Each structure stands twice: as structure tokens, then as C-alpha cells.
């Protein structure tokens, strides 16, 4: 049998163990007291009182006590919001204050809380049970609750100050042309189509390569943005708003044009871009909805028509993505650049160059386009010059005919 040695500190063992024992008892008492004082216990007690006053003691007895949690396996989310927000499914508390307020019924018909949880839509830190940590914003937590307070902090335009929550709606509805109840996001999607953002950017797998791919730009961390030229709030949302308003002010070497967006439009576009992120979207959430963003049948038909018309060359090379050539029946959906029907005159007046010189030695945005997206050989550049002169000749012909008809 192993022989145990005596302690080298026989006179200190018992006092040390006694101190450790006392500390354990004290820490247990402190933990029990502080845990008992948690806000969620008070919220639950208050809700039981409210139920008792409104519906009677028998109903109040059915209000669950203790910490509660919704586990959404498909999303990997554990939401303890219902620990405090106990009234979400109770009728009769529609006019109560948070956290006892009844949740609006319409969203829950298609988004039952047991299947979606809370934070997938509202944002916030689902496993927290203290108000500030659950709602944010706090350090190292990038998903604060996207509610009215957040909208007011950003001076969100419009009457719906909680509209930033639509960013989370669009995680599932990103391929919708329009989503019911998501006016902010719908405005941004309309602008993306009208302004031809895909002329330069890939979005959902389709678009140009002059600018960065925006398909998952919402995953970009705030630390990856250059905030040095940004005044006020230093956040990804604030950066995008400022960038949409005045691109060169935030990124001096950008070739992105200023579209003259107001604050409302810039905020809508910022919300949309930040919604474009990788996230698990179970098939049961959007059954039967294709996860693609193709052209509409009308867009396809119009493109096919132009491919077989006199302006077919401008369509096949991709020039029509940004430019119309009205004299040849080519209409750009984006119309980012000028009509090429008058390019022979425009290059001379705007750049002091003939169209021949400009195509051979482009400047400004076109130097980027012809080096990254529409790469032409020397022979193809000569064809481009010829086609532009043909378009101008047809423009002059149509102009003369219109004048004669007056």
C-alpha cells in the first residue's frame, strides 16, 4: 500500500480549507440572490399580475415560470426572448407595453414562432436574458434588434421607423421582385432595376464585373470598410448610405457615378445590400419558390428582338447594358451611359477627341469598361468605330426626316 506523506503545512491546512468553504458558501448565496433579482423574473411576475387582473387567477396560473427557450434546429438558433416577452401569443394585450405586448397576428400566421423563433426576423442576441445584452447594441455583437429605436438612431426616413427589420425579411425573400409589407426593400429593388446596378455589379449570379460582386456583400464585417472619410456613425449601414449618396466622397478612386439619391433612397439601398448575405433558408420556409433571379419573360423577349435588329452588334458585345442606341432600336434597361446614337458628336464635345481616338484610347469610366468587361481586340475596336458611325448616320437621317415632316 502506498504510504502517504504528511502535509508540509500541517498548521495551515484546516484554516485554508475553512476559508475555501466559506468562500464557496458566500459565492453560492451571492449567485442565488443576484439570479433572483434578474429582470426577467420581475417581467414574468408583472405579466402574471396583468393576466390575473384581465382574465382571472385561473388563467394567470397557466403562465409559465422560469427561463424559456425556442430552439430552431434548421437555423441553429436558440431564442430566449419569450422568457420576458410572454404576451406574444396572448390575445388581449395588444395595447400593453413591451415586453408584455401581444405580437401582431398576421406575420405569425405565415411565420409561426415555433418554426422561426424571434431573432431570425427581429435580430438581437437570442440566448441573452438581460435587456441590454439581448437588444444591443453592445460590443462584439453585430446583430442588434432592428426595431424602432434603431431606426430612430439612424434617422430613418418615412413613418415606419422599424423598417430596418426588412433586412432580415429579405434574407428569405431576396429573389422576390416585390415582397408584401417590405416597402423599404421594395423601393431599393426597384432602384436596382431602374438604375441598372447589374451593369457593373454581379447580383445573385447575374451582372457585370466592373464593380465588386454584391451577392453576399452583407457578410462583410464593419472592420473591412474604410471609415476614414465617414462622418458621424461608423457602421456598415452608415457607410453604405453615404456611399450611395456620393460615391467619390467615400471612395475617391471609384468609377461609380453619383445617381443623385436622396436620404430615403440611399437608406433603402443600404438596407437591401446588407440583407444580401449567406444564411440558411430551409426549403419549408419558401416551398416551391425558385432560388434564382432570372430575367423576366418580357426582358428576354425584348433582348431577343434587339439581337436580330440593326443594332445587334451593340447587344452581342454587351454595350446595350449601359447604353441605348435609339437610332438602331436598341434600348438599355439601365441607361447608365449616354445614347450612342450621337457618340460621334459627344466624344468631340465632352472629351475633345474624335470617336476613333476615344475608342482606341478611352478615358474615364470607359477605360475601365474596355479593360475589364468589354475587352475588344484592335480589329474589334475598328468595327466598334464603324458601328458608331453607322448609328450616327442613321440618327442624322431620322432627324432630317422628322424635320421635313413638320
pLDDT in tens, 84-108: 999 999 999 999 999 999 999 999 9
- Report the pLDDT value the prediction gives residue 313, as an integer from 0 to 100: 93
- Report the pLDDT value the prediction gives residue 293, as an integer from 0 to 100: 79
Q: How confident is the model at residue 332 (pLDDT cuts 50, 70, 90)?
A: confident
Buried b (16+ CB within 10 A) or exposed e, 361-390: ebeebbeebbeebbeeeeeebeebbebbeb
Pick the range with the lowest mean pLDDT from 138-142, 204-208, 388-392: 138-142
The secondary element (H helix, E strand) that includes residue 172 is helix 166-173
Buried b (16+ CB within 10 A) or exposed e, 292-311: ebeeeeeeeeeeeebeeebb
Report, as an integer, the average pLDDT of 155-169.
95
- For the chain, the distance separating the N- and C-terminal CA atoms, rounded to the nearest angstrom, is 121
Q: How confident is the model at residue 292 (pLDDT cuts 50, 70, 90)?
A: confident
| CA 215 – CA 275 distance, rounded (Å) | 10
Q: How confident is the model at residue 5 (pLDDT cuts 50, 70, 90)?
A: low
Percent of the chain topping pLDDT 70: 96
Pick the range with the lowest mean pLDDT from 140-144, 172-176, 203-207, 354-358: 140-144
Q: How confident is the model at residue 336 (pLDDT cuts 50, 70, 90)?
A: confident
Higher pLDDT, 337 or 101: 101
| Mean model confidence pLDDT for the chain | 89
Q: Does 331 score more than 90 pLDDT?
A: no
| CA 178 – CA 181 distance, rounded (Å) | 9
DSSP-derived letter for residue 330 is: B
Report, as an integer, the average pLDDT of 164-180.
94
Q: Does 357 score more than 70 pLDDT?
A: yes
Report, as an integer, the average pLDDT of 207-216.
89
Q: Residue 370: what are its φ and ψ, rounded to 5°?
A: -80, -5
- Report the pLDDT value the prediction gives residue 242, as an integer from 0 to 100: 97
- Report the pLDDT value the prediction gives residue 19, as an integer from 0 to 100: 80
Q: Does 25 score more than 90 pLDDT?
A: no
Give pLDDT tens digits for 318-327: 888 889 999 9
Amino acid at each position: 500500500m502506498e504510504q502517504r506523506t504528511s502535509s508540509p503545512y500541517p498548521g495551515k491546512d484546516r484554516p485554508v480549507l475553512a476559508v475555501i468553504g466559506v468562500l464557496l458558501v458566500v459565492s453560492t448565496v451571492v449567485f442565488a440572490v443576484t439570479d433572483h433579482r434578474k429582470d426577467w423574473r420581475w417581467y414574468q411576475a408583472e405579466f402574471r399580475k396583468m393576466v390575473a387582473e384581465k382574465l382571472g387567477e385561473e388563467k394567470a396560473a397557466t403562465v409559465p415560470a422560469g427561463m424559456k427557450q425556442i430552439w430552431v434546429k434548421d437555423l441553429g438558433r436558440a431564442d430566449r426572448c419569450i422568457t420576458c416577452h410572454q404576451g406574444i401569443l396572448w390575445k388581449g394585450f395588444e395595447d400593453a407595453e413591451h415586453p408584455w405586448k401581444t405580437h401582431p397576428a398576421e406575420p405569425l400566421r405565415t411565420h409561426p414562432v415555433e418554426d422561426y423563433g424571434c431573432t431570425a426576423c427581429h435580430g438581437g442576441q437570442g440566448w441573452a436574458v438581460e435587456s441590454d445584452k439581448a437588444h444591443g447594441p453592445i460590443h462584439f455583437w453585430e446583430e442588434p434588434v432592428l426595431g424602432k429605436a434603431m431606426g430612430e438612431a439612424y434617422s430613418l426616413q418615412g413613418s415606419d421607423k422599424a423598417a430596418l427589420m426588412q433586412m432580415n425579411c429579405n434574407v428569405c425573400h431576396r429573389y422576390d421582385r416585390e415582397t408584401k409589407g417590405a416597402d423599404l426593400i421594395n423601393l431599393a429593388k426597384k432602384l436596382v432595376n431602374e438604375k441598372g446596378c447589374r451593369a457593373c455589379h454581379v447580383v445573385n449570379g447575374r451582372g457585370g464585373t466592373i464593380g465588386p460582386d454584391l451577392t453576399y456583400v452583407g457578410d462583410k464585417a464593419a472592420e473591412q470598410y474604410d471609415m476614414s472619410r465617414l462622418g458621424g456613425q461608423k457602421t456598415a449601414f452608415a457607410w453604405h448610405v453615404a456611399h450611395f449618396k456620393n460615391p467619390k466622397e467615400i471612395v475617391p478612386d471609384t468609377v461609380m457615378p453619383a445617381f443623385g439619391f436622396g436620404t430615403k433612397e440611399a437608406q433603402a439601398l443600404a438596407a437591401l445590400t446588407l440583407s444580401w448575405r449567406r444564411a440558411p433558408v430551409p426549403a419549408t420556409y419558401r416551398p416551391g419558390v425558385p432560388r434564382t433571379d432570372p430575367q423576366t419573360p418580357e426582358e428576354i423577349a425584348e433582348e431577343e428582338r434587339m439581337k436580330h435588329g440593326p443594332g445587334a452588334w451593340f447587344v452581342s458585345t454587351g454595350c446595350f447594358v449601359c447604353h441605348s442606341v435609339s437610332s438602331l432600336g436598341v434600348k438599355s434597361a439601365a441607361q447608365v451611359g449616354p445614347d450612342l446614337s450621337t457618340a460621334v458628336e459627344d466624344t468631340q464635345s465632352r472629351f475633345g477627341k474624335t470617336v476613333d481616338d476615344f475608342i482606341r484610347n478611352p478615358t474615364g469610366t470607359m477605360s475601365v469598361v474596355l479593360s475589364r468587361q468589354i475587352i475588344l481586340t484592335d480589329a474589334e475596336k475598328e468595327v466598334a468605330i464603324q458601328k458608331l458611325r453607322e448609328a450616327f448616320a442613321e440618327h442624322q437621317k431620322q432627324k432630317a426626316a422628322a424635320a421635313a415632316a413638320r
